[in-house]
Each structure stands twice: as C-alpha cells, then as structure tokens.
Amino acid sequence: MDADRFATRLRALLDGFSVHVTVGIPGTGREQVLVQAAEFLDETLTPGSWKSDATGVTTAS
C-alpha cells in the first residue's frame, strides 16, 4: 500500500465529511461520519483486503 496515496484518500474523505457535518446535512452527523471513517480504515488496512486486478490497479475485494 502506498502510504501517501492512502493518506490523501483519508484526508479527502474527512475533508468532504467535515463540510457536511458543519452545515448539518441530514445523515452526516458526527457519529455517522465516524462510522464511515472507521469502515474505510478497516477495509483499507485489514491484511488481505486489497488485491491487484489485471489492469494493475489495486482494488478492495
């Protein structure tokens, strides 16, 4: 896993949700955002959860 790419994706996820939480968009409260972020981290950092397909692009399984 490319640490810089991972950090960029996590930062983008959190930045995007921060706007939703700040303006109060329904369904994107603090708890929902924490659940989404935790799921992203679990899916991304769990050993064996990533594989490379025929195009050479790393994808979640």
pLDDT given at position 17: 93
Strand 50-52 versus strand 58-60 pairing type:
antiparallel
pLDDT given at position 53: 45
pLDDT given at position 28: 86
The domain limits of the chain are 3-60
pLDDT given at position 14: 93
Residue 41, token pair as written in the block: 């981290």
DSSP β-bridge partners for residue 54: none
pLDDT given at position 58: 54
Per-residue pLDDT of the chain (61 residues; tens, 9 = 90+): 789 999 999 999 999 999 999 999 998 899 999 999 999 999 999 887 655 444 445 555 4
Question: Contact, 44 vs 60, CB < 8 A?
Answer: yes
